[in-house]
Amino acid sequence: MTTTPPKKLTIATRESRLAMWQAEHVRDRLQTLYPDCVIELLGMTTRGDQILDRTLSKVGGKGLFVKELETAILDGRADMAVHSLKDVPMDIPGGLQLAAVLEREDSRDAFVSSRYANLAELPTGAVVGTSSLRRQAALMAAYPHLTIHPLRGNLDTRLRKLDQGDYAAIILAAAGLNRLGLQDRIRSCIAPELSLPSAGQGAMAVEIADHRPELAAWLAPINHLPTALAVQAERAVSKSFGGSCQIPLAAYATIDAEQMHLRAFVATPDGSKIIFAEARGAKDQGTALAQQIVERLKEQDAAAILAQCLTE
């Protein structure tokens, strides 16, 4: 393995404000490690950024946010791409790999509203915006008197729709708001017990071509092992159930000292049925814990829920 520092690196990124922040963060981390390296950003627009009038579950899912970036890696225009890990499909295309996962930000969902302090304050019929079937299912199960409407667009677009009165409240990932210095928009964070996060939520990942071992070596110092272990377990659960945006599925692992606590649920989109499972074990046994979770969910007839989701 080469130990020669890189001379030039190109990072592919979406052009949204949050995506650019994430790419710049990785650039700055690498610049500190390799001060003589020239690091450039390659801004790109993905299909996920272009299609805003339909939910992800109806237009192709999470891969819409990464495909163009992955193509740039494979054709040599970029050395790597930076993603929000929750946007990365569970099946990585051939020739690519996730080489580093950075330390996780706040993984919780955030309640954002101009008029109300939390979900419990919302009146009957209040319109709540979210792009996630997982959030929709959790909200409808706990607050069936609310009206859930789809909400697409980048972070600034979603906040603008809230501010112009289209929604009484919207639910966003706390991590994105924190990263952009918009903490004051968060009225309250939603406890995982009420809205369990999605696999990889709050984490960033760096993707490279798998024939570039020197890149993996250069990225190794920014890989945060506890986060990498946690999200690996979460993604294993999601992958077992297809890892699709059409399925309201949550998977969330926390690590305390040497122990991992993995929780997951599968639900119908309307929240009328939610099945839950959890497992605990050694932090490096995430794949085995994920399998335990999957088996426990299957014992609760997860197959019937999945079949219902895929026919709606």
177-229 pLDDT, tens digit per residue, is 999 999 999 999 999 999 999 999 999 999 999 999 999 999 999 999 999 99
Q: What is the pLDDT of residue 47?
A: 59
Contact 128, 146 (CB under 8 A): yes
| Residue 49 annotated as catalytic | no
Give the global pTM. Answer: 0.91
Angle between helices 302-311 and 286-299 (to 10 degrees): 80
All structural domains of the chain, each given as residue ranges with its CATH number in brackets, are 8-102+203-223 (3.40.190.10), 109-190 (3.40.190.10), 235-311 (3.30.160.40)
- Asked if 181 and 112 touch (Cβ cutoff 8 Å), the reply is no
Out of 49, 75, 79, 87, pick the active-site residue.
Answer: 87
- What band does 55 get if pLDDT is binned at 50, 70 and 90? very low
CA atoms within 13 A on the CB side of 281: 17
For all residues of the chain together, what is the average pLDDT?
92
261 DSSP β-pair partners: 254, 280
Per-residue model confidence as pLDDT tens digits over 120-171: 999 999 999 998 999 999 999 999 999 999 998 889 999 999 999 999 999 9
Q: Which residue has the tokens 């088996």?
A: 295
Q: Alpha-carbon dihedral of residues 13, 185, 117, 124, nearest 10 degrees?
A: -50
Give Cβ neighbours of residue 212 (< 8 Å, ≥ 6 apart). Answer: 79
Dist CA 238 CA 246 (whole Å): 12
